[in-house]
Chain A
């Protein structure tokens, strides 16, 4: 049995630009989806002079600010994973990818902890429009962070298997594109939901 020629392996790989455009279009649809949710939030937020409504708990602004920092750091780690891979340091790239996933999971754990406390204080999905909007908007973003973390972990597994290199960093670059979108969205949501 002979090994497949390098050319045939290379031709099996998806074209980088086509894959990136596909991911960019997907991110565009995701951005539109979030724009719709934010728009709905604005209708109720601006439409209610008393916000949050009486009897509803205040959101944890400080701990979520810390969580925002965690997410921003994870984006920096993801960026580092791509730059080290492009420099030919595949092992170092895998390390930074792992750190990205850990920080993503850490963000989700902290969010979950805050949510448990909010539910205990009486803020549920059905307690008011405030609760419904909060859990929908922040929950959908949380699901995206979860999906992004799963993607980063999948890319990490493939990276450890040696599937990416300086000449072919496509998978890691695609994961970074998605992760950057998820991270870039969060400060806007934080300002809108927690600070405004």
Chain B
């Protein structure tokens, strides 16, 4: 319940940040920027997450073998 409330709060409060004139316009160029930023935002988190998961899996395997 608290998580749900926090989630709703965050998305309700950040709406003023959508005022970025470049990323939230309706011209094709602005849409291009929007999708580009949207694509790039999670990439570092995905890469680091995959790396950490992979290293953990490898070290678990080594412990089992050792």
Contact = CB atoms under 8 A, between A and B. Distances in A.
Interface string A35-54: 11011101111111100000
A44 B33 CA distance: 8
Give the interface SS of chain A, mostly helix, strand, loop or mixed. helix
B47 A28 contact: yes
Interface residues of B, number: 22
B33 A43 contact: yes
A87 interface: no
Contacts of A125: none
Given A32-B44, A47-B29, A42 B55 contact: no
Interface of A: 17, 20-21, 24-25, 28, 31-32, 35-36, 38-40, 42-49
Given A17-B58, A32-B43, A39-B37, 4 more contacts: A21-B55, A24-B55, A36-B40, A46-B36
13 contacts: A24-B54, A31-B43, A32-B44, A39-B36, A39-B39, A42-B39, A43-B29, A43-B33, A43-B35, A44-B32, A46-B34, A47-B28, A49-B28
